[in-house]
Amino acid sequence: MVKFLSEEWIEIGKKYILEKLDPVKDLKSITTSLLGVVEHIPPDDITMNFYLELEGGKLIHFIVNTGDTFDEKEATYEIRGNYGTYKSVLQGKMSLGIAVLKNRLKVKGSKMQALKLIKPLDGVIVSLKEITDEFED
């Protein structure tokens, strides 16, 4: 188990997605990219983001950065929320769908397309749940 948003988290996350998630069955062969922006990370109240790109259900990029933008790639979707919300989602206390409906996670991009991604992305979230149990208080 590793700390959310750490380099180890990215590495193990990549490995987990590649090895454990079937591109067709679990990830529905989706091609998309998303930027997850995590605000108000304790203890120093910083913002970080992670960029995730899938092509035909295969993981192409999974990168973590500081700040609220990622200049190297332009994501199809941006999902923005505070650390507490991401923590709840990754701890399985709140589903991705409910976080969006509650306005805790704000989605930028085509909402109809985003809707189609909810189910496969839930699979990614489930996998990230498996590798993360350390959070800042």
Partner 1 sequence: MSKDELLTTKKSDLQEAVKIAEKGTHCGMCKIDFLGSGVCPAGKKHGFAAYWPEGRMEIVKALYSDKIKPTEELKRIANSCTVCGICDKQCNFTTHLRPEKVANALKEFVNKLDDKVFEKIPEDKTLQELRSIVGEKWVSNDPAIIVSYTKTIITPDAGVNFYVVMPETTEEVAEIVKYADKYNIPYLPRGNGTLLAMFIETLLAKAVSLEKGIIFDLRRLKKIEIDEDNKIAKIGVGVTAFALQKEAYKHGMRALVAEAEAHVCVNIASVGIISTWGNTYGWGSDNFTDATLVDSKGNIIHHSDEDLTNPYSTNNNFTNLTLTPSTIITEATVKLHPIFEDEEAVLVPFEKLDDALDLALELAKRNIGLSLAVISSKYLSEFICPTNDIAEDFEYIAKNYLKFNFMVDVVCDKYDKKVVEELADVIIDQKMMKTLILGSPRFASLKESEFLKILSEEKNPLKAIFAGPMKDHLEKALDPSPKQIAKVYDEDLQDFFEKVYSKPEMTDVVWLHAFRILPSRLMRQRMFMLRGGYIVADKKKIIELNNMLRTIGDKHKLSNALGFISFLENGKFAFVEYDYYFNHLDPDSHNRLNQAIVETLQMELKIKGLLPIEYVFHKGLFRKEHLFYPMPEGLSDDELKILGEMVQTVVGG
Residues that bind partner 1 (CB under 8 A): 39-40, 42, 45, 82-85, 87, 93-98, 101-104, 106, 111-112, 114-116, 118-119, 122
Total length of the chain? 137
Nearest-approach distance from CB 11 to partner 1, in angstroms: 26
CB-nearer residue toward partner 1: 10 or 46: 46
CB-nearer residue toward partner 1: 9 or 86: 86
Nearest-approach distance from CB 15 to partner 1, in angstroms: 25
Ramachandran sector of residue 9 (left: φ over 0; alpha: ψ -120 to 50; beta: rest): alpha
Nearest-approach distance from CB 115 to partner 1, in angstroms: 5
The span from the CA of 13 to the CA of 44, in Å, is: 25
CB-nearer residue toward partner 1: 15 or 93: 93
Determine the angle formed by the axes of helices 111-131 and 7-20, rounding to 10 degrees: 110
